[in-house]
Amino acid sequence: MKVLVVGSGGREHALVWKIKQSPKVREIFCWPGNAGIAEHATCLPGSPEDVEGIVKFIEQEKIDLTVVGPELPLMAGLTDEIVKRGFKVFGPSKLAAEIEGSKVFAKNLFRKYGIPTAKFNTFASAQEAKEYIKELNSPCVVKADGLAAGKGVIIAQNTEEALRAVDLIMEDKTFGSAGNQVVVEEMLVGEEVSLLVFTDGKTVVPMVSAQDHKRIFDHDQGPNTGGMGAYAPAPVLTPELQDRVVNEIIIPTVKAMEKEGRPYKGVLYAGLMVTDRGPQVLEYNARFGDPETQAILPLLESDLVEIMEAVIEERLDRLQIKWKSGHSVCVVAASGGYPGKYEQGKEIFGLEEAEKVDNLTIFHAGTSKRDGKIVTAGGRVLGVTAWADDLVEAIDKAYQGISKINFEGMHYRKDIASKALARYK
């Protein structure tokens, strides 16, 4: 079969890498891809949001399965247009993807259906948001309503920081129209964890849990990023807690979406906080996480294409999904200056040397090829991912690999998976 993957990041490289392992797949295309993806697939120039261009290509090439990686094409209705033309696509509809596209919609859904989440209020007026914050007079979280590439969440330790966050989002429009509304919610205390599930709208099958590292610097210091690394599984989410998350949060959400006339099919990603009062949902993403996917997919034993087809055809309940035991660790190499301004076009050295490490692969996130050389083309450049039976060994392999790579301004965190290590000691 012919498969098209839409997107250009580390998540898409991981998806292409895993899809290529399926005996069902004959040819893979990626729109637009990157320098690493080009080693496994035919990359096509174009924007992931070019719905018309993508659909036209699917029709011309008679693509058997399209996999939508990023959130923007989902919110632009790419899935709907592909389905309309009678082709198979893995990814939720535009209406279903609003669970990520609008935090106001998601939080109101949680309230309506009693899904455990932080106490909150939503505002379309900056003045009203500020008055509420002054009344709260305590640490809180201010979130832009719309999509902001993982950066629209500001954790405010005091009232002044929260008021500045409202100005930044609603007045300065730092995140554009995503800041037309805000959510102001209580600051939950606990440990964050991600649980991604496959769902066909009826059956829910969890993947192995993962923990992302959002902040740019070690020990969770500095501004939020799209994610500086991840590991799987995350021991904070014990089997008992995972069952609670599935039964008290995810299944009720899937049922709620059905009741709202927005049936959800694809990957549903729950960002959770494990608190003293139990697991609480922080937010949902309507697709595979990045960089969580780079840590999760190396542990998947089953054929990913078979799973995707079962989701599309609503027969997930008849599939047995198998996972490898062991641990996986992904460390992100970022451009100097990220998540702020950074330069591109820096030549990357040491990739071949790094890939000689056993059970290690390098997922390209922001790379391109220029004059036969692989150069940087984004803020997050590479995800160096290693796996092993033992967590310490997986961490060592990942850092052994990344130590062999360099480019001007390269930066990476040195403490990925340290929270997991502390739990195993």
Instruction: For residue range 68-101, list pLDDT tens digits in order.
Output: 999 999 999 999 999 999 999 999 999 999 999 9
Exposure of 377 in the CB half-sphere (CA atoms within 13 A): 18
Q: How far is CA 149 from the centre of its chain?
A: 10
Q: Which domains does the chain have, with CATH numbers?
A: 2-93 (3.40.50.20), 125-180 (3.30.1490.20), 191-318 (3.30.470.20), 327-424 (3.90.600.10)
What b-and-e string marks burial along 49-75, b requiring 16 or more CB atoms within 10 Å of the CB? ebbeebbebbeeeebbbbbbbbbbbbb
Give the pLDDT confidence of 218-261 residue by residue, as tens digits: 999 998 888 999 999 999 999 999 999 999 999 999 999 999 99
Taking alpha carbons only, the member of 175, 276, 177, 263 closest to residue 224 is 175
- The DSSP line for 37-87 is GGGTSEE--S-TT-HHHHHHHHHHHT-SEEEE-SHHHHHTTHHHHHHHTT-
pLDDT of 425 reads 63
Tokens found for residue 22 = 């399926």
Taking alpha carbons only, the member of 311, 80, 73, 78 closest to residue 207 is 311
pLDDT of 147 reads 86
Question: How do beta strands 140-144 and 182-186 pair?
Answer: antiparallel
* Full pLDDT tens readout for the chain, 425 residues: 999 999 999 999 999 999 999 999 999 999 999 999 999 999 999 999 999 999 999 999 999 999 999 999 999 999 999 999 999 999 999 999 999 999 999 999 999 999 999 999 999 999 999 999 999 888 999 999 998 876 788 889 999 999 999 999 999 999 999 899 999 999 999 999 999 999 999 999 999 999 999 999 999 999 888 899 999 999 999 999 999 999 999 999 999 999 999 999 999 999 999 999 999 999 999 999 999 999 999 999 999 999 999 999 999 999 999 999 999 999 999 999 999 999 999 999 999 999 999 999 999 999 999 999 999 999 999 999 999 999 999 999 999 999 999 999 999 999 999 999 988 76
* Omega of the bond leading into 32 within 30 degrees of 0 (cis): yes
The total of other beta-carbon atoms located within 10 Å of residue 236's CB is 18
Query: Alpha carbon of 195 to those of 51, 60, 285, 296: distances in Å?
Result: 29, 37, 10, 10
pLDDT of 150 reads 66
Taking alpha carbons only, the member of 300, 105, 113 closest to residue 198 is 300
The CA distance from 36 to 44, in Å, is 13
